[in-house]
């Protein structure tokens, strides 16, 4: 049961209980007028027509009055003095009811229902005069004692100011209202008596009843309690939601948003940023662990990784009293460790400690795992304009430098990385200019069948921009992906290729030529890409089977169901799909069945190991060829550089060959010449191409 539910149930119980207790009288207060500690004295009074006698007992007061003469006022009266100071009485205005127990006996039993009047005498300097007894206000109520009921409850709201008193003393409207704020005495008085004889009034009970709190005020208090509780619960829920939004649910470390919020709160000026350092940590080859052992083990590894990292940092700083650090998970297997007030030596020590600890075996569910990590380090003092975003970008750039230079190492952001970033931005600007001014061209790399006839060409992009001179696609394509330019470039290559096919339809159909076009891994998450390809095919009247789209194996590292769905949509259009650079992305062979591909292209690093020396290693190529045949996939070998490699691959029945030994990338006009003059070549002629 969550806190909200518990609070609502508790408030409901409290509300009903308090209202119930209030209505049953548990919250009532009482003032016993007959209690001797509250009284000053008793007395009786008459007008000469009666003789009165007062009897005081422990639990009651009794007055006996004998009427001798009916020519006078004919009444009996009992005065209860609440104070010996006639100007300073008791404040009884907080009470609600008067509870009176009276026994009234008359000479004629038929008159036992005669009424009794009670007066609360209030002194007020505005209208009261000590020399005039009647000047104190007469707040009165009249009732008839009932023999069958021991006591009567009379609401004090029934009190009225005696009319004769108002008229006699000419009292204004404001002062003519009931007032119990300064009661000096209480009087019991009979009505006018009609018979001679003895009258008895026995006062058994005389209590004022009030409330600790009125029901209206209790309801108001409960309403305020509900309101305050609601505000608290809303704020509590907001804090929980804020915490949830800032915490990674898997590892319980901060997430990217939480880290930014923490840094914005902790650092307020440039001076404070000069004391901060960020370690951007990425687990090397984490996808391999996920693919090998499953995502459950992968998730547990991430949790263990956070635990190990925090333990190592805490252990290192155990001897230092002042240190602030925070760990955050930024994405799948990327983490940020922020340290405050650390020296350069401490930063290096921590990075080395972490790398050493990560290489030790980690035991998870009876599985021993061994991991490496790449770490990028950025210091606030080295950044011209230090902000959380800049610090993270610099640490991220340093981490990628570590990863690209062999992994399992750390790199501190410095001038060399700064120069690399500046160069990448310069290339990005040049690419934008080239896109806007159509400064690209296409060249074609022939792909030969096993019989050495050209079956297809790989479409390669080149830039004619002077700003991109000596910068090839292997450099500018990753930058185009990083800066969000690659989609535009992909579509340009597709459309230019389709235009060319449309212009040379007869030649293409005659030689059954297929065009292999590389697409970026970004397109695997671009839901609009299949429809864009479909529209271009329709616009230029291109047969879908004349097109083969190539994706690199490494682009499938983080593939998910959406990516596979996009590949299936492309496959449905009729285009062929090829997996480029196969063998470099650690794709398990049993995963191939999940991908709707037609062709795999063996990476040049494996083809390059085939030679005519004793150190030749063709094992990987042989395995790929064997597996591909079992999956009925076509295989093309990239990077054929020697006659021996060409002969070996043809002997192994490799479906296609591609490489500088056969042909370099050439202009389209040279492709036409090759197609028009190609002959069936044997292995001897292969070397002359």
Domain boundary assignment for the chain: 3-27+216-244, 32-211, 256-413, 443-461+491-679
pLDDT averages per 10-residue partition of the chain, 689 residues: 86 92 89 75 63 75 79 76 88 92 76 79 92 91 77 91 92 93 89 78 88 90 93 87 83 89 75 79 86 87 92 84 82 91 89 90 86 90 72 89 86 86 89 92 95 94 90 88 90 96 94 94 91 96 95 70 89 93 64 81 90 77 88 92 94 94 94 79 35
pLDDT value of residue 682: 38
Q: Who's near 312: CB < 8 A, 6+ residues apart?
A: 350, 353, 354, 357
| Structural fold of domain 32-211 | Jelly Rolls (2.60.120)
SS (H, E, C) 29-70: EEEECCCCCCCCEEEEECCCCEEEEEEECCCCEEEEEEECCC
List CB contacts of 581: < 8 A, sequence separation 6 or more.
552, 553, 554, 601, 603, 638
Residue for token pair 């914005």: 264
Give the model's pLDDT for residue 73: 61
How many CB atoms within 10 Å of residue 208? 23
Give the distance from CA 613 to its chain's centroid.
Answer: 62
Give the β-pairing of 324-331 and 276-283: unpaired
- What CATH number belongs to 256-413? 3.30.70.270
316 backbone φψ class: left, alpha, beta (φ>0; ψ -120 to 50): alpha
How far is Cα 147 from Cα 102, in angstroms, rounded to an integer? 9
Q: Which residue has the tokens 């990327």?
A: 334
- Residue-level length of the chain: 689
- Nearest C-alpha neighbor of 136 from the set 85, 77, 100, 73: 85
> Rounded to an integer, what distance in angstroms lies between the CA atom of residue 348 and that of residue 377?
9
How far is the C-alpha of 643 from the C-alpha of 432, rounded, in Å? Answer: 42
- CATH 3.20.20.450 matches 443-461+491-679: yes
The answer for residues whose C-beta is within 8 angstroms of residue 351's C-beta and 6 or more apart is 279, 375, 377, 410
CB 566, CB 537: distance < 8 Å: no
Distance CA 216, CA 205 (A): 29
């Amino acid at each position: 049961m969550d806190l909200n539910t518990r609070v609502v149930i508790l408030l409901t119980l409290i509300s009903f209980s308090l209202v119930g207790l209030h209505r049953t009288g548990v919250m009532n207060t009482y003032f016993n007028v007959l209690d001797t500690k509250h009284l000053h004295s008793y007395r009786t009074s008459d007008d000469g027509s009666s003789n009165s006698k007062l009897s005081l007992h422990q639990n009651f007061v009794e007055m006996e009055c004998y009427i001798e003469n009916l020519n006078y006022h004919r009444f009996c009266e009992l005065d209860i003095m609440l104070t010996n100071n006639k100007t300073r009485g008791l404040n009884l205005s907080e009470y609600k009811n008067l509870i009176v127990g009276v026994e009234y006996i008359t000479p004629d039993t038929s008159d036992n229902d005669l009424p009794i009047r009670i007066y609360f005498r209030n002194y007020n300097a505005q209208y009261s005069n000590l020399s005039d007894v009647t000047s104190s206000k007469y707040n009165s109520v009249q009732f008839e004692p009932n023999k069958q009921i021991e006591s009567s409850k009379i609401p004090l709201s029934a009190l009225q100011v005696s009319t004769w008193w108002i008229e006699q003393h000419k009292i204004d409207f404001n002062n003519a209202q009931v007032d119990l704020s300064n009661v000096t005495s209480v009087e019991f008085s009979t009505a006018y008596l009609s018979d001679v004889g003895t009258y008895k009034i026995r006062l058994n009970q005389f209590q004022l009843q009030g409330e600790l709190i009125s029901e209206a005020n209790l309801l108001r208090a409960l309403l305020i309690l509900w309101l305050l509780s609601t505000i608290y619960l809303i704020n509590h829920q907001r804090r929980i939601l804020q915490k949830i939004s800032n915490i990674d649910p898997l590892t319980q470390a901060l997430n990217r948003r939480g880290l930014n919020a923490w840094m914005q709160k902790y650092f307020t000026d440039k001076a404070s940023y000069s004391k901060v350092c960020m370690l951007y940590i990425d687990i090397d080859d984490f996808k391999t662990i996920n693919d090998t052992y499953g995502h459950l083990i992968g998730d547990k590894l991430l949790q263990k990784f956070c635990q190990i990292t925090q333990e190592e940092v805490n252990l290192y700083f155990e001897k230092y009293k002042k240190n602030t650090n925070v760990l955050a998970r930024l994405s799948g297997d990327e983490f940020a460790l922020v340290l405050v007030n650390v020296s350069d030596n401490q930063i290096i020590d921590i990075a080395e400690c972490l790398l050493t600890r990560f290489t030790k075996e980690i035991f998870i569910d009876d599985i021993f795992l061994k991991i490496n990590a790449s770490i990028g380090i950025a210091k606030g003092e080295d950044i011209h304009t230090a902000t959380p975003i800049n610090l993270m970008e610099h640490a991220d750039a340093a981490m990628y430098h570590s990863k690209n230079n062999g992994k399992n190492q750390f790199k501190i952001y410095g001038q060399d990385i700064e120069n690399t970033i500046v160069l990448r931005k310069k290339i990005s600007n040049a690419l934008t200019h080239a896109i806007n001014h159509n400064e690209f061209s296409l060249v074609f790399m022939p792909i030969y069948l096993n019989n050495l006839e050209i079956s297809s060409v790989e479409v390669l992009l080149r830039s004619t921009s002077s700003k991109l001179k000596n910068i090839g696609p292997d450099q500018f394509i990753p930058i185009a992906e990083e800066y969000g330019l690659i989609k535009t470039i992909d579509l340009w290559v597709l459309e230019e290729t389709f235009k060319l096919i449309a212009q040379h339809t007869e030649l293409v159909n005659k030689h059954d030529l297929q065009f292999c076009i590389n697409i970026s891994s970004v397109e695997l998450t671009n839901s609009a890409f299949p429809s864009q390809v479909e529209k271009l095919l329709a616009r230029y009247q291109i047969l879908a089977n004349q097109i083969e789209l190539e994706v690199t194996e490494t682009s499938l590292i983080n593939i998910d169901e959406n990516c596979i769905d996009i590949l299936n949509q492309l496959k449905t259009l009729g285009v062929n799909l090829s997996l480029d650079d196969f063998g470099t992305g650690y794709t398990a062979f049993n995963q191939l069945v999940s991908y709707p591909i037609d062709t795999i292209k063996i990476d040049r690093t494996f083809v390059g190991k085939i030679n005519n020396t004793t150190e030749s290693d063709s094992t990987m190529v042989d395995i790929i060829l064997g597996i591909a045949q079992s999956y009925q996939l076509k295989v093309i070998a990239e990077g054929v550089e020697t006659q021996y490699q060409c002969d070996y691959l043809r002997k192994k029945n490799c479906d296609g060959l591609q490489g500088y030994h056969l042909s370099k990338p050439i202009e389209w006009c040279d492709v036409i010449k090759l197609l028009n003059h190609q002959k069936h070549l044997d292995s001897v002629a292969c070397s002359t191409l």
